[in-house]
Structure 1
Amino acid sequence: MASIASRRLAKELSEIKSEGCPVGINLVKADDFATWWFTIEVMGESLYEAEVHTLQFRFDAQYPISSPAVQFVVTEGRESPVHPHVYSNGHICASILGNEWSPVLSVIAVCVTLQSMLASCKKKERPPDNDRYVRNAPENPKKTQFEYHDDTV
C-alpha cells in the first residue's frame, strides 16, 4: 500500500485506540491497512433500536484521496439494515462514499454519518431497484455509479 495511505490509516487507528469511538460505534478488527470492521448501533429511539450492524471498510493505495469501499456485512443469519439507501447485499447508496467523498473525512466520520442515516429513517424498506441491483452488482460497491436523488431518508 502506498505510504500516504499507510500513514493516514496508522494515524486514524492510533486516534481510535487512544480516544475511543463515539457511542454506538465499536472497532471490531483492524489487523492491517487493507480491511477494517466496525459495529454500529443507533442509540436512542429509532426504527433500528437494539440492532447492531457490522460495517466493512476496504482501503486502496489512494486512500484518503479515494474513498474506502464501505458496506454492511451480510452473512448467513445476518442481513444488512432494511433502509431505502441500503441494498440487501450490504451496498450503501450514500454520496459521501461516492461523489461527495473528501479526504478530510475519516473512517469514524463515515461511521457516524451512517449511524445518523439509520437514526433519521422514517420507514424500513429496501431501495426500489434492490432485486435488480443485487443481481447485477459488482463485488466492490465503489464500482457502482449510484444516482443520489433522495436525501430525505
Structure 2
Amino acid sequence: MEEPSFHPVKDDLTRWRGMILGTGVYDKGVFYIEIEVKRTYPFEPPTVFFKTPIWHPNIGENGRVCVGILGKDWRPSITLVGVIETIRNLLNFPNPKDPLNREAAQQMNTNLQSFIKKARMYVEKYATWDQKIS
C-alpha cells in the first residue's frame, strides 16, 4: 500500500480517512488519521484526528492534533497534502512547547528516555498493521 493514502469516507468529501507510516520515535507505526474539512475550507483549516492512539505532546487523548497551521498559522493556500505532510513532520519533530498532551510534553522535557519508551510502547500496542480502526 502506498503511503500516505487517503480517501473520502463513504463518498463524503468533507471527511477523509487514511494512514501514514511513523518515523523517528514512531518508526514502524501505522497511524490512521481522519481529516474533517469544513464547508468554509480553504478559508478555515480542517480538523485532524489520529484514530490510532499515540503518545505525543501535540496530539490529545481524543486524537485531536495541535499544530500551528491548523490554527493561528492557517493560510488558504495550504492544501490537504500540505496538512498531511505537516502531520508526518510532527512525528519527527514533536513540539513540547505547545502541547495538547501536557503529560507527554512534560515527560519529553524532563525524561526523554522515558518518553521514548512510552511512545514506542504505544506503537507496539496500538499502531501495528493488524490493528483495526473503527
Structure 2, unpaired ranges of 5+? 105-134
AA partner of residue 113 (structure 1): T
SS of structure 1 residue aligned to 2:72? coil
Match of 2:101 among 99, 108, 127: 127
Partner of 2:49: 71
Unaligned 5+ segments in structure 1 are 1-22, 131-153
Equivalenced residues, count: 100
1:27 and 2:1 are equivalent in the alignment:
no
Question: Between Structure 1 and Structure 2, which shows a larger proportion of strand residues?
Answer: 2
Give TM-score, length-normalised by structure 2: 0.64
Cα deviation, residue 121, structure 1:
4.0
Alignment of 1:72-87 (within 5 A): 72-73=50-51, 78-79=52-53, 81-87=54-60
More relative contact order in 1 or in 2 (CA 8 Å, sep 6+)? 2
Identical-residue share of aligned pairs (%):
24
Counterpart-to-counterpart distance in 2, 1:69 and 1:40: 16
Report the counterpart of residue 116 of structure 2 in structure 1. Answer: none
Q: CA deviation at 1:59?
A: 1.5
Q: What is the aligned-residue RMSD (CA, Å)?
A: 2.6
Runs of 4+ off more than 6 Å: none
Q: Deviations over 1:92-113 (max 9, x none)?
A: 1111101111111111111111
Q: CA deviation at 1:26?
A: 0.9
